[in-house]
Amino acid sequence: MKSASHLDIQAIREQFPILKQTVQGKRLVYLDNAATSQKPISVINALNVYYSSYNANIHRGAHYLAAKATEAYEQVRERVAKFLNAFSSEEIIFTRGTTEGINLVASTFGRKFIGEGDEIIISTMEHHSNIVPWQMLCEEKKAILKVIPINENGEILLDAYEKLLSPRTKLVSIVHISNALGTINPIKAMIQKAHSVGAKFLVDGAQGAVHLPIDVQDLDCDFYAFSGHKVYAPTGIGALYGKKEILEQIPPYHGGGEMIKEVTFEKTTYNDLPFKFEAGTPNIADVIALGKAIDFVDQLGKENISAYEQELLAYATEKIQKIEGIKIIGTALQKASVLSFVVAGVHHSDIGTILDTQGVAVRTGHHCTQPLMKRLGLEGTTRASFAVYNTFEEVDIFIGALEKAIKMLK
Ligand code: C6P
């Protein structure tokens, strides 16, 4: 089947050395991209080049290598600001990933602005990393966590959301794209509603940043957190966008080197943005590699990537629906390339194990969304998630392997 997008998928695949291998004697079909994406050679090489030619600590060295590393690191901050269309690179804080970004906001914004009886709103489909930090904060501050219900298709109930909003709402924190269902949430409209009661809005962009063009100024979100490793960059690096006027008002996250202006035993003054939030030696190499991953995405164009992934999703959905006993979990009207499903009478982990013997990598289980699974009356699902290097032929292999697995297990 031919793609209507302008992308040369074979040429893209050539850039991913890992995809060329066989596993269990079978050609690797990697469909676990929502967990982590594979890395193009430009990203892998960037790590090698950094460590073999200009490894140095940044912002403090008086020498050539330190200046070169600092420049490369700060250039990526500019790249990330552009990637999210932030107003300024001062609004970009490097983190270990989405989880750390959300925890940073809970610890800093939460510490300063959330008190007893205040309310935080999340939704039923949140990942644990957008639930637990708020529970911890609410426990500490005697604040209240409220949860927006969803319908059977896996869509947020917007009427219920509006009813939950009140002058006591201090923060709304919602996933842009659900990792378990694929639902794309209408966050722009939700942000406007939150702002109308004076609440701030955090977007969990772990899946959003890879599948959708992001414009934080247009969205008008207050925070946007994402992980590099889902956007073709290494693990251990991510970024948090925060509006400058909010970042200026909130306390630092960690204390240590780099985040200070002056330290005496009596008093410490903090550094300017964004350094106030980056204590200690950062993950320099992976920041530089993140820059290469963003270049990779930008060269292809987010719109093209998205359009192609939608074609893969539509093709896979049509094929999987023909298999008897399959139920797709997550049938929202607006959906990204995540295909979660259950098979009547068959355990999801058994499907995953048999698919693996066929070379097909998927994820099974609760996908770190246990409350969502409970709401849907499920223990878990099997999840295939597609990236730009996947092909229609791989979807065929996956469907064939799935049919075989079901036959074996029934
Ligand atoms: N989801 C998945 O297989 P970290 O681990 O910090 O990079 O991202 C956490 C996270 C937060 N929100 C959403 C919506 C996510 O999908 C994830 C990571 C992976 O679905 C690993 S659990």
Claim to verify: residue 251 and residue 347 sit in the same structural domain: no
The answer to whether 201 and 174 are in contact (CB under 8 A) is: yes
Provide the 10 A C-beta neighbour count for residue 28. Answer: 16
Q: How far is the CA of 199 from the centre of ligand 1 (A)?
A: 25
Burial environment of residue 327 by CB neighbours within 10 A (0 to 12, 13 to 18, 19 or more): middle
Residues 322 and 277 in one domain: no
Same domain, residue pair 56 and 148:
yes
Q: Is residue 3 part of a domain?
A: no
Last residue of a domain, one of 281, 298, 315: 298
221 has catalytic annotation: no
Give the model's pLDDT for residue 214: 98
Q: Which of 105, 123, 126, 127 maximizes ligand 1 atoms within 8 Å of its Cβ, making it the mutation to test the pocket?
A: 127
The CATH number of whichever domain residue 309 belongs to comes to 3.90.1150.10
Residue of 98, 232, 381 with the most ligand 1 atoms within 8 Å of its CB, for mutation: 98
Which one is catalytic: 368, 373, 384, 401?
368
Q: Is residue 245 domain-shared with residue 306, that is, in the same domain?
A: no
Q: Are residues 145 and 240 in the same domain?
A: yes
Instruction: Give the separation between CA 274 and CA 92, rounded to whole angstroms.
Output: 7
pLDDT tens-place string over residues 89-138: 999 999 999 999 999 999 999 999 999 999 999 999 999 999 999 999 99
| Backbone dihedral region for residue 313 (phi beyond 0: left; psi -120 to 50: alpha; all else: beta) | alpha
Residue 174 lies in a domain: yes
- CA–CA gap between residue 339 and residue 335 (Å, rounded): 9
Residue nearest to atom 8 of ligand 1 (CA): 98
Quick one: pLDDT at residue 291? Answer: 98
Smallest CA-to-CA distance from 165 within 130, 198, 125 is with 198
Q: Give the residue, out of 368, 370, 382, with the most ligand 1 atoms within 8 A of its beta carbon, to mutate for a pocket test.
A: 368
Residues with CB under 6 A from ligand 1: 34-35, 97-99, 127, 129-130, 175, 179, 204, 206-207, 227, 363, 367-368
Query: CA-to-CA distance for 356 and 161, rounded, in angstroms?
Result: 40
Per-residue pLDDT at 61: 83
CA angle 217, 171, 368 (to 5 degrees): 95
Same structural domain for residues 150 and 285? yes
Q: Which residues contact 308 (CB under 8 A, 6 or more apart)?
A: 3, 5, 7, 9, 388
Q: Is residue 2 part of a domain?
A: no
Task: List the structure tokens of 371.
Answer: 């409350």
Intervals of the chain under pLDDT 70: 1-5
242 DSSP β-pair partners: 223
Q: Are residues 24 and 161 in the same domain?
A: no
Domain count of the fold of the chain: 2
Query: Mind listing the pLDDT tens digit for each residue in 190-224?
Result: 999 999 999 999 999 999 999 999 999 999 999 99
Distance from Cα 206 to the centre of ligand 1, integer Å:
6
Domain boundary (298, 314, 329) is at 298
Do residue 62 and residue 29 come from a single domain? no
Identify the CATH number of the domain in which residue 289 sits. 3.40.640.10
Per DSSP bridges, beta strands 169-175 and 119-123 are parallel
Where are the extended beta strands (E) located within 310-379?
A: 326-329, 338-343, 360-361, 363-365
Task: Tell me, yes or no, whether 168 lies in a domain.
Answer: yes
Are residues 229 and 364 part of one domain? no
In this structure, the residue with its CA closest to atom 5 of ligand 1 is 99
In a domain, 161, yes or no: yes
**Residue 326 is assigned to a structural domain of this protein:** yes
Domain extent, residue 136, equals: 45-298
Strand partners, 150: 156
Rounded to 10 degrees, the C-alpha dihedral 361/387/98/175 comes to -100
